[in-house]
Amino acid sequence: MEHVVIGTGRALVGTAEQPIELHPGDYIAYPADVPHIFQALEPGTRATLVSEHT
């Protein structure tokens, strides 16, 4: 799993089939073993990503 929290800006995040637009403070978790995306939608976008290995 990957866990993402947006700190500043906006980003399109999640699985390639169903990405979601996130804003500051938003959180998403998605399987890391499927095609996925993290696309900043504005300059200065910052996020924290945690990879969970089980």
List, for residues 10-20, the tens digit of each pLDDT value.
999 999 999 99
Around Cβ 22, how many Cβ atoms within 10 Å? 22
- pLDDT value, residue 54: 80
- pLDDT value, residue 20: 98
pTM score over 0.85:
yes
The two structure tokens encoding residue 20:
């979601």
Per cent of the chain over pLDDT 90 is 96
What's the average model confidence in pLDDT over 29-52? 97
Looking at every residue in the chain, the average pLDDT score rounds to: 97
